[in-house]
């Protein structure tokens, strides 16, 4: 449905754009129909950049993003509008998605004028109300209000309702949960899961592993713009292979197990050669060659891909590491 | 008791009236206790934390007293608090990333800060360097500007500065929420280490992330809509909470290992009440599945079990019957 093929993004930074920052490096993955794929990474990993490139808010420096086989870079005019009918995004901060001097439901009116001028006002109102009900809002309570009169959860659901009105088939959900309170975030998450059941594909961008595990089938782990591990969500969570993924799984605070004590953070000096494994400077199991050699993604198990020298053929494998149903975690040597 | 708070009430003054952000808060911390303070945004947890150190307008002191190490702290007196701030009670602010003066080298800034408290920078420098080692920061940071440090480094630097004069009580306000999980873990463990080395006596960690508290806190205080709902040892809050709000809150947290397809989690229906004119009685009443007539009165915050305090009429009655 949506496929990224070796997509890279270079930002110009520094005075007059004198330096290049490789935000996304040859990322490839695919989202199929009705699938939820989580894009997981810490701040600065390039996960939001990927979301913005899919929404054509940024242009990829290299590579191709294809939607149903067509390169989205080629969409112009009517074709682009048609693309936006099917692909929409919802972002982290619902408050800044609205113009505070207009009522919040203006987003629906704009949609009506721009995309559905042929539909009568009364029919449109019916559709809006139906969409609001389907995201769990009472139209009488939320329509005709200014953004500051609504809560973050309500505004966020407004944006999802707006996306639904377009009858979209692909949603880019960029950290949409993190601004919400614990008691409402699960409602929004359940809503996404329900929409998935109707065939909506979702790219769920998050740094929260437990949310990703709750909702998605596949996961892509990003580190500094590079995919370090990807595949089926159970495999990645139950047997994380890449040292970075292992570290993430070990550090994520959980309610059923306490942290291992005394795991040291590694900080290694790196020469800026531009080559080498992106995780080399923090990797506890790095070898000499990792400084210069960037391993490709290899399939180590069915639908489980890792980019690490320790999993290339003939390498001495790392000790198996499992978090599911075990009391003790074998330490990485 | 290292920290004793009695009946603390703080309002926000607005044009439309007083916002009852914190009412009748009473609790105690034992020596060396690390307490987590959790709740949804707007529940008053930051108000409670800040009222122990600085009351900015529109925050207004209404009632209550605070004791640290047996000494009463004049929290209503902004001038009088100056001799306690930093020395006795200190704060790691939210957004510590931006807490340092951007146009001063860090060492110079610490120097000025200490001077304002009548402490000589040179005397404390050896200790400062030891503490930089402890949080694995190079000594050169003192000659650097904040912009030269990464987010995690700034966070650690602010932690060192805040605890430099060995305050009895340190308040950490949402310090882990902007960090990625690896740095989060390192920072949280360093705070525990500070307590272990007796740089600080008590620590209050304000956060909305209960799973972090499970890792580091000795006890957890849950707030709801400006009032205390429950305080108990961490294990009891996670495994055998008594207040209906705490129970619903804990059960709505997604965790690694829980999937939508296997187990659908439920949120808490409804929204917290507005605190401009808070409802009488229990403030969770509207959303509580167990609410009954008695909830129209405000439930007292009582100890139902050793160290386990709850403000709920159901628990009050169970306790009265049992005891």
Cα torsion angle, B273, B279, B283, B285, sign: negative
B103 CB near a chain A CB, below 8 Å? no
Q: If DSSP codes are grouped into helix, strand and coil, which group holds residue B131?
A: helix
**Considering Cα of A166, then A170, then A173, then A174, what sign does the dihedral take?**
negative
Answer whether A235's CB lies under 8 Å from A311's CB. no
How distant is the Cα of B195 from the closest Cα of chain A, in angstroms?
16
- What is the pLDDT confidence band of residue A265, given thresholds at 50, 70 and 90? low
Q: Tell me the mean pLDDT in the region B218-245.
A: 94
Q: For the sheet containing A2-13, what is the strand order? A: A19-31, A2-13, A62-67, A70-71
- Here the tokens at position A19 are 């330096």
A283–B contact, CB cutoff 8 A:
no
- Percent of chain B at pLDDT above 90? 62
B40, B188, B254 member nearest A210 (Cβ): B254
- A 10 A CB-CB count for B118 gives 8
Average pLDDT over residues A279-306: 86
User: Mean pLDDT across the stretch B137-141?
Assistant: 91
Q: Which of A86, A97, A69 is nearest to A2 (CA)?
A: A69
pLDDT digits (tens, 9 = 90+) for B87-133: 999 999 877 778 899 999 999 999 999 999 989 999 999 999 999 99
Question: Within the 26-85 window of chain A, which residues sit less than 8 Å (CB to CB) from chain B?
Answer: 42-43
Q: Which residue's structure tokens are 């110009």?
A: A12
pLDDT value, residue A320: 58
* Closest residue in A to B235 (Cα–Cα): A255
Closest to B22 (Cα-Cα) out of B203, B228, B209, B170 = B228
So what CATH class is A2-223?
Answer: alpha beta
Count of pairs with CB atoms under 8 A, one residue in A, one in B: 108
Q: To the nearest whole percent, how much of chain A has pLDDT over 90? A: 32
Stretch B50-68: mean pLDDT, rounded?
Answer: 90
- Determine, for residues A151 and B271 on separate chains, whether the beta-carbon distance falls below 8 Å: yes
pLDDT for the residue numbered B78: 87
- Average pLDDT of span B145-151: 85
Residue B16 in this model has a pLDDT that exceeds 90? no
- Tell me: pLDDT of A272 over 90: no
CB atoms A259 and B215 under 8 Å: yes
Q: What is the pLDDT averaged over residues B5-19?
A: 91
* Whether B40 contacts chain A with CB within 8 A: yes
Residues of chain B with Cβ-Cβ distance to A237 below 8 Å are 256-257
Q: Cα(B205)–Cα(B216) distance, rounded to whole angstroms?
A: 9
Q: Is the pLDDT of residue A322 over 50?
A: no
Partner residue facing B214 (CB), from A215, A253, A323: A253
Q: Determine whether the interchain pair B214/A249 forms a contact, defined as Cβ–Cβ distance below 8 Å.
A: no
Mean pLDDT, range A269-288, rounded to an integer: 76
Q: Write down the pTM of the prediction.
A: 0.83
A135 touching B (Cβ < 8 Å): no
Q: Spell out the residues 6+ positions from residue B258 whose beta carbon is closer than 8 angstroms to its own.
A: A210, A213, A214, B265
Q: Residue B159 has what pLDDT?
A: 92
Least confident of A259-263, B212-216, B286-290: A259-263
Percent of chain B with pLDDT strictly greater than 70: 99
Which SS3 state, helix, strand or coil, does residue B46 take?
helix
Identify the burial level of B239 via C-beta atoms within 10 angstroms of its C-beta, where 0-12 means exposed, 13-18 middle and 19 or more buried.
exposed
Hey, CA dihedral for A309, A313, A319, A320, is it positive or negative? positive
Q: A103 and A45 in contact (C-beta within 8 Å)?
A: no
| Distance between start and end Cα atoms, chain A | 41
- Split at pLDDT 50, 70, 90, the class of B208 is confident
Q: Mean pLDDT in chain A?
A: 84
Query: Which string of DSSP letters, residue by residue, matches B215-232?
Result: HH-SEEEEEETTEEEEEE
For residue A254, list chain B residues with Cβ-Cβ distance below 8 A. Answer: 211, 214, 255-256
Nearest residue, CB atoms, B180 vs list A42, A184, A254: A42
For A183, the closest of B238, B252, B257 (CB atoms) is B252
- Which chain A residue shows the shortest CA-CA distance from B260? A214
Per-residue CA distances from B45 to A96, B67, B97, B302 (Å): 25, 19, 21, 19
What is the side-by-side strand order in the sheet with B71-73?
Answer: B17-29, B3-14, B59-68, B71-73
- The full 3-state SS of chain A, as one line of letters, equals CEEEEEEEEEEEECHHHCEEEEEEEEEEEEECCCCEEEEECCCCCCHHHHHHHHCCCCCCCEEEEEECCEEHHHCCHHHHHHHHHHEEEECCCCHHHCCCCCCCCHHHHHHHHHHCCCCCHHHHHHHHHHHHHHCCCCHHHHCCCCHHHCCHHHHHHHHHHHHHHCCCCEEEEECCCCCCCHHHHHHHHHHHHHHHHCCCEEEEEECCHHHHHHHCCEEEEEECCEEEEEEEHHHHHHCCCCHHHHHHHHHCCCCCCCCCCCCCCCCCCCCCCCCCCCCHHHCCCCCHHHHCCCCCCEEEECCEEECCHHHCCCCCCCCCCCCCCCCCCCCCC
pLDDT of residue A160: 86
Residues 6+ apart with CB under 8 A from A76: none
Rounded to whole angstroms, the Cα distance separating B268 from B285 reads: 13
Is A324 close to B254, i.e. CB distance below 8 A?
A: no
Cβ neighbours, 10 Å, residue B93: 16
Evaluate whether B44 touches B59 at the Cβ level (below 8 Å).
no
Is B256 part of the contact surface with chain A (CB cutoff 8 Å)? yes
**Which residue ranges does chain A devote to CATH 3.40.50.300?**
2-223
A-facing residues of B in 171-190 (CB < 8 A) are 180-182, 184-186, 188-189
- Residue B2 zone, left/alpha/beta (φ > 0; ψ -120 to 50; rest): alpha
pLDDT for A324 equals 41
pLDDT digits (tens, 9 = 90+) for B173-186: 888 777 778 788 88
Partner-chain residue, chosen from B40, B186, B209, that has the shortest CB–CB distance to A253: B209
Residue A13: is its pLDDT beyond 80? no
- Residue of A43, A183, A245 to mutate for B, most B C-beta atoms under 10 A: A183
pLDDT per residue as tens digits for the range A106-128: 999 998 998 888 999 999 999 99
What are the φ/ψ torsions at residue B188 (nearest 5 degrees)? -65, -40
Is the CB of B210 less than 8 angstroms away from the CB of A182?
yes
Asked if the C-beta of A255 comes within 8 angstroms of chain B's C-beta atoms, the answer is yes
What does the pLDDT look like over B245-282, one tens digit per residue? 999 999 888 777 778 878 888 888 877 888 888 888 99
Residue of A207, A253, A260 to mutate for B, most B C-beta atoms under 10 A: A253
Q: What band does A9 get if pLDDT is binned at 50, 70 and 90?
A: very high
Of A189, A213, A251, the CB nearest to B181: A251
Alpha-carbon dihedral B308, B312, B318, B319, rounded to 10 degrees? 40
The partner residue sitting opposite B255, judged by closest CB among A181, A215, A256, is A256
Whether residues B256 and A189 touch (CB distance < 8 A) is answered with no
Residue B258: per-residue pLDDT: 79
- pLDDT at position B307: 94
User: Any idea of the CA torsion for A264, A270, A272, A277, to the nearest 10 degrees?
Assistant: -70
Beta pairing class for B34-38 and B202-207: parallel
């Amino acid at each position: 449905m949506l496929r990224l093929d070796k997509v890279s993004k270079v930002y110009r930074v520094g005075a007059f754009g004198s330096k290049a920052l490789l935000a996304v490096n040859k990322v490839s993955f695919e989202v199929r129909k009705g699938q939820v794929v989580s894009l997981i990474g810490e701040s600065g990993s390039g996960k939001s950049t990927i979301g913005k490139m899919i929404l054509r808010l940024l242009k990829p420096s290299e590579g191709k993003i294809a939607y149903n086989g067509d390169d989205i870079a080629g969409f112009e005019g009517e074709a682009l509008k048609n693309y936006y009918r099917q692909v929409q995004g919802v972002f982290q901060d619902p408050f800044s998605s609205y113009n505070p001097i207009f009522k919040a439901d203006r987003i629906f009116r704009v949609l009506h004028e721009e995309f559905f001028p042929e539909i009568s006002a009364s029919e449109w109102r019916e559709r809006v109300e139906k969409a609001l009900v389907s995201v769990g809002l009472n139209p009488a309570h939320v329509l005709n209000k200014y953004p500051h009169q609504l809560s973050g959860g309500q505004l966020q659901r407004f944006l999802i309702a707006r996306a639904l009105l377009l009858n979209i088939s692909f949603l880019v959900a960029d950290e949409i949960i993190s601004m919400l309170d614990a008691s409402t975030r699960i409602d929004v998450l359940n809503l996404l899961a329900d929409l998935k059941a109707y065939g909506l594909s979702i790219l769920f961008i998050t740094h929260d592993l437990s949310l990703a595990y709750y909702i998605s089938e596949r996961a892509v782990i990003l580190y500094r713009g590079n995919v370090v591990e990807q595949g089926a969500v159970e495999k990645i969570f139950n047997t994380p292979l890449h040292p970075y993924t292992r570290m993430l799984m070990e550090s994520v605070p959980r309610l059923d197990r306490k942290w291992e004590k005394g795991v040291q953070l590694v900080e290694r000096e790196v020469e800026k050669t531009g080559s080498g494994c992106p995780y080399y400077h923090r990797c506890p199991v790095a070898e000499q060659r990792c400084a210069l050699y960037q391993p490709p993604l290899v399939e180590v198990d069915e639908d489980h891909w890792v980019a690490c020298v320790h999993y290339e053929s003939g390498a001495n494998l790392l000790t198996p590491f499992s978090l599911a149903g075990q009391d003790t975690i074998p330490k990485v040597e | 008791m290292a920290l004793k708070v009695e009946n603390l009430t703080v309002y926000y003054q607005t044009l439309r009236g007083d916002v009852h952000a914190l009412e009748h808060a009473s609790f105690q911390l034992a020596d060396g206790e690390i307490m987590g303070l959790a709740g949804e945004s707007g529940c008053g947890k930051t108000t409670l934390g800040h009222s122990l150190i600085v009351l900015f307008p529109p925050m207004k002191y209404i009632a209550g007293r605070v004791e640290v190490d047996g000494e009463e702290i004049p929290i209503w007196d902004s001038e009088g608090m100056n001799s306690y701030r930093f020395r006795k009670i200190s704060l790691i602010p939210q957004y510590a990333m931006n807490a340092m003066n951007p146009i001063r080298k860090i060492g110079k800034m610490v120097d000025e800060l200490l001077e304002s408290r009548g402490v000589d920078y040179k005397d404390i420098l050896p200790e400062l360097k030891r503490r930089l080692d402890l949080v694995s920061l190079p000594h050169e940071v003192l000659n650097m500007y904040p912009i030269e440090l990464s987010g995690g480094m700034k966070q650690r630097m602010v932690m060192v500065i805040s605890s430099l004069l060995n305050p009895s009580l340190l308040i950490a306000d949402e310090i882990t929420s902007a960090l990625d999980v690896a740095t989060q873990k390192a920072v949280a463990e360093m705070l525990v280490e500070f307590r272990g080395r007796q740089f600080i006596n008590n620590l209050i960690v304000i956060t909305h992330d209960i799973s972090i508290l499970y890792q580091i806190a000795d006890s957890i205080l849950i707030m709801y809509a400006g009032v205390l709902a429950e305080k108990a040892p961490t294990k009891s809050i996670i495994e055998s909470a008594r207040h209906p709000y705490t129970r619903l809150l804990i059960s709505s947290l997604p965790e690694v290992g829980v999937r939508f397809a296997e187990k659908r989690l439920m949120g808490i229906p409804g929204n917290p009440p507005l605190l401009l004119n808070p409802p009488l009685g229990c403030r969770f009443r509207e959303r509580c599945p167990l609410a009954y007539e008695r909830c129209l009165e405000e439930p007292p915050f009582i100890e139902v079990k050793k160290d386990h305090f709850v403000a709920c009429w159901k628990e009050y009655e169970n306790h009265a019957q049992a005891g």
